[in-house]
């Protein structure tokens, strides 16, 4: 009831190892695997399921928007631009946040 | 579901969080619906901050008085002959001590500093209980001359007291600090004389035989934050049995039974599963357990027409803890790599030493800006262990938000440490509602007052 | 029948049940309690599961639970629990709750009055009854009614284990009466037998990390393990009971096979306890018939055991009896005790699809809504 389960930690760990391998090959700014990203099941509620790893995630509203755009093959810059308009925030700020989000995604995908 | 202004969105950095098995429950660590608090002890929080800065400790005079009265009443109605010893180490800010003394509490001190402090405040020697394992000759000379009640911790101290009293041509009134196993908490056998091994009997005999010592009381303290009233029953039983044995064998009459402190407050001790409201018994339950046992165990005195011993309680935490809160402000926030929200506060374990063992209550004096999420609260120190709360559900925070941390009245104003930061103002809300500073914030002059620079080091660069 | 009339009869109530986790090695009692209700021929009401984790199987077991909801952990206290229960009540119009976990009972006990005001009934003990049967009060209770109990000590400091002697050694110490092996117990759950100080300290740390201080040590009594599931009416009477002997246990000491028996000594023990406590509600009496033939009380659990389905199997359905008592029905209609019914516990996989899992993760609930119009306002606007 209150203990985290070690099984999951193991799977996450393995997962990360695999990813590290990937990022070594591809050291571009966004190491997010486009194919994986497109396979993600994203629901309206912000629930995400990765059919390849079996891992599920929650994403917040802004993250949801970014993932939707990336899945449509739009660029991180375009996503940042959209956020800047919708949230009435400077583009530099949203771009910076989107880049950080991309790094987070790269850890999981 | 759809908002009219569907294009606009509340800004929040995009975030994705993996679900961790075993903790997938969005309601799991929920807090009561976020209520914005705006006042503490009936004083406006932002006004307090504006006037006295942040962080600031806010103390309530009425709460202190109310608590100590309640404690005394609980014991008096059940036993009658009761005194409260205000444990200085719990909070020795002068105003707090004098509130206690005005309520009739004795001073319970455990060091030369605390003894001198009590005397400086004007407490007469006979109203001081002097405990603690380190009493120097110098302070003992004063305490014996003042007629303080000294509870002896070990044999070397016994001899020291005897020699000081002899030199002064006086008879010092002393008590014996005892330790024993109640079966409920692990015995604190490092303090005082052990009963089971016969050490305590031997010490008592030594006191009785001395013409410069008069054995007046028995003292023991079974531990802190004792959640089990039955532990005190056992303590009283063992002490009374010791007293009866002693009185049967030696020419002595014990006047006081001092059961120390250790009563819990309503703070959430780390490592206790249920919240304090459910595990902390009421003062009445403790009083009932202690007094019933005491009446039973001292029945033999009534039968022989001798007076009942006075009961002394040295409760600090239960009296002071909820009479003070700490106001602190968010100075920065960040998102940790594991996805948790983190906030940096201007008060940390430097001021809130008790955060090492309590999960303090945290109330927000800021509007609730969204769903609560798991948050870590860091203090201002450059130490990794400076954590006020390791995991608490809080809504999104902003720089400048004020938090009310409670209860903080016990042990923080004494165990706080001066590490890289100045200690802040401590204010008192008077019974009249007026607010005044009872301990000024430190500044550079205070911090360097004790420094002495040798001549050749008077300049930083030559 | 009118809705208001239905509300007056237990057969049509909506019952919420907690403890619906069903880990294969140590299942909670909730699923079994629900099964007792839904398989009773007269019961026509709804059963709602209240869970503490998205992986609690009861959340998805549609054959027993019409819908399920996540609750805050017991350690969050009663205020948040009340808020959450009221939100669930808005959807489901609960008539009664049957709490099935020890750790949550203090919360429910505190909320009993408030919940009753909202029309939610519970057959649960008072705070005093709950405390007196707690593991750290058990010895006192047993002594007062003349029931044998293994020697037990409440522990907060693991240095105790260094002072326990191994059987056969003759070191003269204060704790010499304590010998390994010992049983170590968490204040709410879990018990492990340890045979040396190193092992004991490790288990102590695990128990304390999970359930907090204190921990209990108990001497090991050898013999047959007997369990009695019972029901107290709050006036000192044991109004229903089923006794089972464990025939095979898991690594954690939980029964995975057992058989109903009739044991008069065990029954007498339970009656004495229920009378001494004026116990109100379900309970499980765990005891051992020692090699000396005496009954030693091990524990009193303030709820039904996870093998409670056996009571429906022998026509002494105790969860249904709870509803009848709450409905002020005096005839509980229990058949005569029947020995010789075996149970064998087995694990089975429950399959769910993504949307169901998602619903629990995102909304904290699963199952079709009884009436979409009843949805609380805050969810509509969300």
HSE-CB for B78 with a 13 A CA cutoff: 21
Q: What is the DSSP letter of B338?
A: T
Q: Which residues of B6-39 are buried (b: 16+ CB within 10 A; e: fewer)?
A: eeebebbbbbbbbbebbbbbbbbbbbeebeeeee
In sequence order, which ranges of chain C are alpha helices (DSSP H)?
A: 3-6, 30-38, 78-92, 105-117, 127-132, 138-145, 160-163, 197-211, 264-277, 309-313, 318-326, 354-363, 377-381
Residue B289 and residue B146 share a domain = yes
**CATH code of C286's domain:** 3.30.470.20
Contact at CB, C362 and A58, closer than 8 angstroms: yes
C376 within some domain: yes
Chain A residue with CA closest to C358: the answer is A47
Contact at CB, C73 and A41, closer than 8 angstroms: no
Chain C CB contacts of A4 under 8 Å are: none
pLDDT band at A30 (very low <50, low <70, confident <90, very high): low
Residue C232 and residue C167 share a domain = no
pLDDT band at C77 (very low <50, low <70, confident <90, very high): confident
**Closest partner residue to A56 among B7, B12, B19, by Cβ?**
B19
**Closest partner residue to B15 among A63, A85, A87, by Cβ?**
A63
Chain C residue with CA closest to B273: the answer is C212
CA B378 – CA B330 distance, rounded (Å): 10
**CATH code of B189's domain:** 3.20.20.10
How many separate domains does chain C show? Answer: 3
B1 touches chain A (CB under 8 A): no
Residue C86 and residue C44 share a domain = yes
Chain B residue with CA closest to C110: the answer is B278
Residue B337 and residue B210 share a domain = no
Residue B222 and residue B290 share a domain = yes
B15 touches chain A (CB under 8 A): yes
Q: What is the DSSP letter of C181?
A: S
Residue B308 and residue B184 share a domain = yes
Q: What is the pLDDT of residue B251?
A: 86
CA–CA min distance C73, chain A (Å): 8
Mean pLDDT along residues C301-326: 96
Residue C25 and residue C93 share a domain = yes
CA B304 – CA B311 distance, rounded (Å): 19
Q: What is the pLDDT of residue B3?
A: 41
pLDDT exceeds cutoff 70 at A5: no
Contact at CB, A56 and C357, closer than 8 angstroms: yes
Per-residue pLDDT reduced to its tens digit, A67-78? 999 999 999 999
A6 touches chain C (CB under 8 A): no
Work out the angle at residue A72's Cα, subtended by the Cα atoms of residues A70 and A77, and round it to the nearest 5 degrees.
40
Residue B284 and residue B161 share a domain = yes
Which token pair is C141? 């209770």
Mean pLDDT along residues C351-366: 88
CA–CA min distance A101, chain C (Å): 21
Q: What is the DSSP letter of C246?
A: E
Per-residue pLDDT reduced to its tens digit, B178-226? 999 888 777 888 899 999 999 999 999 999 999 999 999 999 999 888 8
C144 within some domain: no
CA B178 – CA B189 distance, rounded (Å): 9
C46-51 vs C67-70, strand pairing mode: parallel
pLDDT band at C145 (very low <50, low <70, confident <90, very high): very high
Q: What is the pLDDT of residue C1?
A: 52
C21 touches chain A (CB under 8 A): yes
CA A87 – CA A69 distance, rounded (Å): 16
Q: What is the pLDDT of residue B17?
A: 83
Q: What is the largest CA-CA distance in chain C?
A: 75
Which token pair is B123? 């407490």
Chain B residue with CA closest to A62: the answer is B14
Residue C334 and residue C245 share a domain = yes
Is B354 within 8 Å of B408 (Cβ atoms)?
yes
Q: Which domain covers residue C7, as residue numbers? A: 3-122+351-381
DSSP letters along B132-149, please?
Answer: -S---HHHHHHHHHHT-E
Q: What is the pLDDT of residue B305?
A: 84
Size of interface A-B (CB pairs under 8 A): 78
Q: Which domain covers residue B204, as residue numbers? A: 131-315
C96-98 vs C14-17, strand pairing mode: parallel
**Closest partner residue to B11 among A58, A59, A89, by Cβ?**
A89
Per-residue pLDDT reduced to its tens digit, C13-58? 999 999 999 887 789 999 999 999 999 999 999 999 999 999 899 9
Q: What is the pLDDT of residue C156?
A: 82
**Closest partner residue to A87 among B11, B16, B20, by Cβ?**
B11
Residue B432 and residue B388 share a domain = yes
**Of the candidates B315, B340, B371, which is a domain's last residue?**
B315
**CATH code of C197's domain:** 3.30.1490
Chain A CB contacts of B8 under 8 Å are: 86-88
**CATH code of C67's domain:** 3.40.50.20
Q: What is the pLDDT of residue A3?
A: 37
Q: Which chains touch C (3 or more CB pairs under 8 A)?
A: A, B
Residue C171 and residue C59 share a domain = no
HSE-CB for C188 with a 13 A CA cutoff: 19
Chain C CB contacts of B1 under 8 Å are: 380, 382
Chain B CB contacts of C84 under 8 Å are: 27, 30
Is A86 within 8 Å of B9 (Cβ atoms)?
yes
Per-residue pLDDT reduced to its tens digit, C165-192? 765 444 444 445 788 899 999 888 888 8
Is C139 within 8 Å of C149 (Cβ atoms)?
yes
Work out the angle at residue C342's Cα, subtended by the Cα atoms of residues C339 and C346, and round it to the nearest 5 degrees.
155
Per-residue pLDDT reduced to its tens digit, B184-195? 777 888 899 999
**Closest partner residue to C361 among A1, A3, A47, by Cβ?**
A47
C336 touches chain A (CB under 8 A): no
**Of the candidates C162, C197, C219, which is a domain's last residue?**
C219
Q: What is the pLDDT of residue B6?
A: 60
**Closest partner residue to B271 among C72, C208, C382, by Cβ?**
C208
pLDDT exceeds cutoff 80 at A24: no
Q: Which residue reads 């002997």 in tokens?
A: C245
CA C67 – CA C377 distance, rounded (Å): 19
Task: Say how far residue B412 (Cα) sits from the centre of its chain.
Answer: 8
Q: What is the pLDDT of residue B23?
A: 64
**Closest partner residue to B16 among A8, A85, A108, by Cβ?**
A108
Contact at CB, B275 and C84, closer than 8 angstroms: no
A3 touches chain C (CB under 8 A): yes
**Of the candidates B315, B336, B354, which is a domain's last residue?**
B315
Chain A CB contacts of B11 under 8 Å are: 62, 83, 87-89
C108 touches chain B (CB under 8 A): no
CA–CA min distance B370, chain C (Å): 11
CA–CA min distance C207, chain A (Å): 12
Which token pair is C304? 């039904």
Chain C CB contacts of A43 under 8 Å are: 355, 358, 362
Is B177 within 8 Å of B194 (Cβ atoms)?
no
Chain C residue with CA closest to A2: the answer is C210
Q: What is the pLDDT of residue C165?
A: 73
B12 touches chain A (CB under 8 A): yes
Q: What is the pLDDT of residue B22?
A: 63
Q: What is the pLDDT of residue B227?
A: 87
Which residues of chain A approach chain B closer than 8 Å at the C-beta?
2-5, 7-9, 12, 48, 55-63, 65-67, 83, 85-89, 97-98, 100-101, 104-105, 108
B297 within some domain: yes
Q: Using CA atoms in the order C365, C368, C371, C372, what is the torsion angle rounded to 10 degrees?
A: 70
Chain A residue with CA closest to C54: the answer is A1
Q: What is the pLDDT of residue C166?
A: 62
**Contacts for A88 with CB less than 8 Å, ≥ 6 apart:** B8, B11
Residue C199 and residue C163 share a domain = yes
pLDDT exceeds cutoff 90 at A34: no
Chain A residue with CA closest to C75: the answer is A2
CA C30 – CA C98 distance, rounded (Å): 8
% pLDDT > 70, chain C = 92
Q: Where are the domains of chain A?
A: 7-108
CA B11 – CA A83 distance, rounded (Å): 8
Please indicate whether residue C368 or residue B258 has the higher confidence score (pLDDT): B258
Work out the angle at residue C78's Cα, subtended by the Cα atoms of residues C74 and C82, and round it to the nearest 5 degrees.
110
Report CA-CA distances (Å) from B332 to A90, B346, B401. Answer: 20, 9, 10
Average pLDDT value for chain A:
77
pLDDT exceeds cutoff 80 at C274: yes
Residue B279 and residue B182 share a domain = yes
Contact at CB, C53 and A1, closer than 8 angstroms: yes
Phi then psi for B172, rounded to 5 degrees? -80, 135
% pLDDT > 90, chain C = 64
Chain A CB contacts of C103 under 8 Å are: 1
Chain B residue with CA closest to A45: the answer is B1
Work out the angle at residue B327's Cα, subtended by the Cα atoms of residues B325 and B329, and round it to the nearest 5 degrees.
155
Q: Which residues of chain B have pLDDT under 70?
A: 1-6, 21-24, 30-34
B11 within some domain: no
How many separate domains does chain B show? Answer: 2
B120 within some domain: no
Q: What is the pLDDT of residue C142?
A: 94
Contact at CB, C357 and A41, closer than 8 angstroms: no
Contact at CB, B28 and C76, closer than 8 angstroms: yes
C372 touches chain B (CB under 8 A): no
Chain C CB contacts of A46 under 8 Å are: 362
CA B289 – CA C215 distance, rounded (Å): 23
C78 touches chain B (CB under 8 A): yes
Residue B419 and residue B390 share a domain = yes
Q: What is the pLDDT of residue C381?
A: 38
Substitution target in B275, B277, B280, B358 with the highest count of C β-carbons within 10 Å is B275
Q: Which residues of A18-34 are buried (b: 16+ CB within 10 A; e: fewer)?
A: ebeeeeeeeeeebbbbe
CA–CA min distance B42, chain A (Å): 37
Q: What is the pLDDT of residue C124?
A: 97
Q: What is the pLDDT of residue C380?
A: 37
Query: Beta partners for A57?
Result: A48, B18
Residue C296 and residue C238 share a domain = yes
CA–CA min distance A75, chain B (Å): 15
Contact at CB, B16 and A88, closer than 8 angstroms: no
Pick the closest to residue B403 from B14, B27, B16, B54 (CA basis).
B54
CA B317 – CA C35 distance, rounded (Å): 49
Chain C CB contacts of B228 under 8 Å are: 136, 154
Residue B327 and residue B296 share a domain = no
Residue C334 and residue C226 share a domain = yes
Residue C251 and residue C181 share a domain = no
Whether residue C181 has a cis bond before it, omega within 30° of 0: yes
B136 within some domain: yes
A60 touches chain C (CB under 8 A): no
Highest mean pLDDT among B11-15, C339-343, C378-382: C339-343
B140 within some domain: yes
Query: Beta partners for B325?
Result: B58
Contact at CB, C73 and A56, closer than 8 angstroms: no
Which token pair is A92? 């530099």
pLDDT band at C211 (very low <50, low <70, confident <90, very high): confident
């Amino acid at each position: 009831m209150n203990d985290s389960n070690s099984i999951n930690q193991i799977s996450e760990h393995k997962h990360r190892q695999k990813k590290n391998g990937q990022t070594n090959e591809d050291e571009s700014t966004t190491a997010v695997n486009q194919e994986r990203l497109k396979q993600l099941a994203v629901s309206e509620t912000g629930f995400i399921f990765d059919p390849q790893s079996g891992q599920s995630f929650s994403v917040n509203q802004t993250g949801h928007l970014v993932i939707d755009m990336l899945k449509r093959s739009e660029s991180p810059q375009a996503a940042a631009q959209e956020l800047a308009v919708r949230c009435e925030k400077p583009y530099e700020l949203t771009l910076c946040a989107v880049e950080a989000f991309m790094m987070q995604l790269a850890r999981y995908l | 579901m759809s908002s009219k202004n569907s294009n606009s969105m509340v800004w929040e950095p995009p975030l994705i969080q993996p679900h961790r098995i075993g903790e997938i429950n969005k309601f799991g660590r929920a807090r009561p619906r976020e209520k914005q608090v705006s006042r503490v002890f009936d004083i406006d929080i932002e006004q307090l901050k504006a006037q006295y800065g942040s962080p600031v400790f806010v103390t309530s005079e009425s709460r202190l008085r109310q608590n100590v009265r309640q404690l005394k009443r609980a014991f008096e109605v059940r036993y009658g002959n009761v005194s409260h010893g205000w444990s200085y180490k719990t909070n020795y800010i002068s105003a707090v001590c004098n509130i206690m003394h005005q309520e009739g509490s004795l001073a319970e001190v455990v060091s030369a500093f605390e003894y001198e402090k009590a005397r400086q405040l004007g407490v007469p020697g006979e109203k001081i209980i002097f405990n603690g394992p380190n009493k120097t000759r110098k302070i003992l000379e004063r305490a014996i001359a003042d007629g303080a009640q000294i509870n002896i911790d070990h044999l070397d101290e016994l001899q020291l007291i005897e020699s000081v009293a002899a030199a002064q041509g006086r008879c010092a009134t002393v008590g014996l600090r005892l330790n024993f196993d109640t079966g409920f908490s692990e015995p604190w056998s490092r303090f005082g004389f052990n009963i089971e091994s016969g050490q305590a009997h031997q010490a008592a005999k030594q006191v009785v035989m001395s013409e410069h010592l008069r054995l007046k009381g028995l003292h023991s303290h079974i531990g802190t934050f004792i959640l089990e009233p039955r532990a005190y029953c056992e303590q009283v039983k063992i002490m009374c049995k010791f007293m009866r044995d002693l009185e049967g064998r030696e020419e002595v009459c014990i006047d006081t039974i001092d059961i120390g402190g250790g009563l819990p407050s309503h703070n959430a001790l780390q490592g206790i599963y249920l919240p304090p409201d459910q595990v902390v018994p009421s003062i009445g339950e403790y009083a009932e357990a202690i007094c019933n046992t005491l009446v039973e165990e001292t029945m033999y005195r009534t039968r022989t027409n001798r007076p009942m011993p006075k009961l002394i309680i040295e409760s600090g935490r239960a009296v002071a803890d909820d009479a003070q809160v700490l106001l602190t402000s968010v100075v920065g926030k960040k998102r940790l790599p594991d996805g948790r929200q983190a906030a940096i506060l201007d008060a940390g374990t430097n001021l809130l030493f008790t955060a090492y063992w309590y999960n303090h209550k945290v109330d927000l004096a800021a509007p609730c800006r969204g769903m609560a999420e798991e948050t870590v609260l860091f203090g201002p120190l450059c130490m990794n262990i400076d954590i006020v709360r390791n995991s608490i559900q809080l809504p999104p925070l902003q720089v400048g938000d004020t938090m009310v941390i409670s209860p903080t009245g016990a042990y923080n104003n004494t165990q706080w440490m001066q590490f890289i930061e100045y200690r802040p103002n401590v204010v008192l809300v008077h019974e009249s509602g007026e607010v005044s500073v009872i301990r000024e914030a430190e500044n550079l002059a205070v911090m360097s007052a004790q420094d002495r620079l040798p001549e050749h080091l008077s300049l930083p660069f030559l | 029948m009118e809705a208001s009339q239905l509300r007056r009869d237990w057969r049509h109530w909506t019952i919420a049940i907690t403890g619906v986790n069903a880990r294969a090695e140590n299942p909670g009692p909730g699923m079994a309690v629900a099964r007792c209700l839904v398989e009773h021929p007269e019961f026509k009401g709804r059963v709602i599961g209240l869970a503490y984790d998205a992986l609690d199987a009861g959340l998805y077991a549609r054959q027993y639970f019409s819908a399920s909801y996540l609750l805050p952990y017991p350690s969050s206290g009663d205020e948040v629990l009340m808020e959450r229960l009221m939100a669930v009540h808005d959807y489901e119009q609960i008539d009664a709750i049957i709490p099935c976990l020890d750790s949550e009972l203090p919360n429910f006990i505190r909320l009993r009055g408030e919940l009753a005001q909202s029309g939610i009934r519970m057959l649960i003990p008072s705070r005093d009854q709950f405390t007196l049967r707690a593991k750290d009060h058990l010895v006192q209770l047993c002594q007062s009614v003349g029931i044998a109990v293994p020697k037990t000590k409440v522990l907060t400091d693991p240095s105790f284990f260094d002072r326990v002697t191994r059987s056969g050694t003759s070191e003269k110490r204060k704790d010499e009466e304590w010998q390994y092996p010992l049983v170590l117990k968490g204040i709410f759950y879990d018990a492990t037998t340890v045979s040396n100080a190193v092992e004991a300290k490790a288990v102590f740390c695990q128990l304390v990390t999970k359930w907090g201080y204190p921990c209990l040590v108990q001497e090991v009594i050898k013999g047959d393990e007997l369990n009695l599931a019972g029901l107290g009416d709050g006036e000192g009477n044991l109004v229903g009971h089923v006794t089972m002997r464990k025939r095979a246990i898991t690594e954690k000491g939980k029964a995975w096979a057992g058989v109903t028996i009739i044991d008069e000594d065990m029954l007498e023990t339970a009656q004495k306890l229920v009378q001494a406590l004026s116990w109100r509600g379900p309970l499980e009496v765990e005891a051992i018939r020692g090699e000396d033939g005496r009954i030693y009380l091990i524990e009193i659990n303030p709820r039904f055991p996870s093998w409670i389905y056996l009571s429906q199997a022998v026509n002494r359905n105790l969860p249904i009896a709870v509803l009848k008592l709450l409905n002020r029905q005096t005839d509980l209609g229990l058949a005569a005790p029947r020995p010789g019914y075996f149970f064998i516990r087995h694990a089975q996989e429950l399959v769910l699809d993504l949307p169901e899992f998602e619903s629990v993760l995102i909304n904290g609930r699963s199952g079709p809504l009884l009436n979409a119009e009843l949805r609380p306002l805050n969810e509509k606007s969300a």
